[in-house]
Structure 1
Amino acid sequence: MTRDLTPIVVNLDIGDTNRTIVIASAYFAGDGPMTPPAEVQELIQYCSRLRLPLLLGCDANAHHITWGSTDINFRGECLLEYLTTTDLEVLNVGTTPTFVTKSRSEVLDITLVSSSLRDHIKDWRVSAEPSLCDHRIIEFKLDSIKYNRPERRVPGKTDWELYNTNLENNLNYLSLNGKPHHLDLEQDSQAVTRAINEAFDSSCPVTSERPVKDAPWWNTHLSKLRSKVRHLFNTAKRDGN
């Protein structure tokens, strides 16, 4: 990991197998000596050597019509030439700018992926949602990932009439089969607890939980504030203040 490169290793269920993949974010400095930077090339070589699929999002600062830029510059030519020597493919679709200011817009951000992972990436797009910086948010889906939702019983969905009936039957069964002179209160309390739990389980269905939103506290007011901050940021950048 460096200031301009952050890779992580994750294990995901893709298709019918569990696979180890590398996901990384990188910045290619516009005044750097080479494109991509040496540390990025080392990461690509490392993944290739260990046969680890790589998903790389990068601010490439390079123009090429291959990933939707309006023109081709020297950095773009160098980067594309390098990519042809690797197993990486460009995921970018269309020509929607990924870098936008009041005076300029261009495609500078590229998403790269190993060919073995290519078919599992779906719906790549540039989001129109404000991002609080000059670069737009890029979204896509990693397909065929198994997600097993946690299961639990929701008390609010309990059939209480059925619960009362089941509990009464369970307690009646205990009274018929119990020992009238039994003095083990701990054992009796456990039997009653089981009767209550069994009545609840049989009258409250098991349901799968839905994934919780990443930011359940986010709202329209915050969206407006974020847009305002973005506007002020761009103004300050233009004015040098």
Structure 2
Amino acid sequence: MKLRVLIVDDDPAVREPFAAAVEASDDMQVIGLAATLAEGRHLLHNARPDVMLVDLGLPDGDGSELIKEAQRALPDCEAMVVTVFGDEAHVLAAIEAGATGYLLKDATPAEIVDQLRVLKAGGSPINAVIARQMLRRSAAWAQAERSSQESADGNAADDAGLLSPREREVLQLCAKGYSYEEIAPLLNVSRHTVTSFVKRIYRKLQVHSRTEAVYEARRMGLLRD
């Protein structure tokens, strides 16, 4: 089945080339174009896309609000931000809202299509500049976590019930290096179900990547080595 794509951007000079590139591919189709947050919400609920390309700076609100709504109403829908905003505040807000990809608008339409395939395969496309910012933040976060390790260990018993048995099982397989496509048949579920488990794990552990999730789960005693 073709990947069903919703594009939400108020600039037609950006929106239309992205749409044309998606339609030109063999494995994707555009199921909606929106120029406002309100239009995006309408199409989210009525067209039910597999993935959204979302700009953050919309005329009637922040694109992160649409991403949050998708998480609640359509958890299998992936959201990839394509925006001019590369500062940490916007990046973190989008990721916390549930975005699984973050690109800047200097990406070409062809590159966007390629990154949609990466997203579909279980990856998290991210602009190199943004990735460097997040790595720096993660390093600072890890240092702070190490400094509080002793006190955190005292709460290990309370953390034991944080993840459900199936979420632990998914995370254990992620820690062993299995891809989402490989995990799905092992657990007899769809890839989208695996993705939903991973999103819930990220929210519960308050992390933004597989590496951070595995690190945090091991620190809390939720994973076996």
TM-score by length of 1: 0.25
Q: Which has the higher strand share?
A: 1
* Structure of higher CA gyration radius: 1
TM-score by length of 2: 0.27
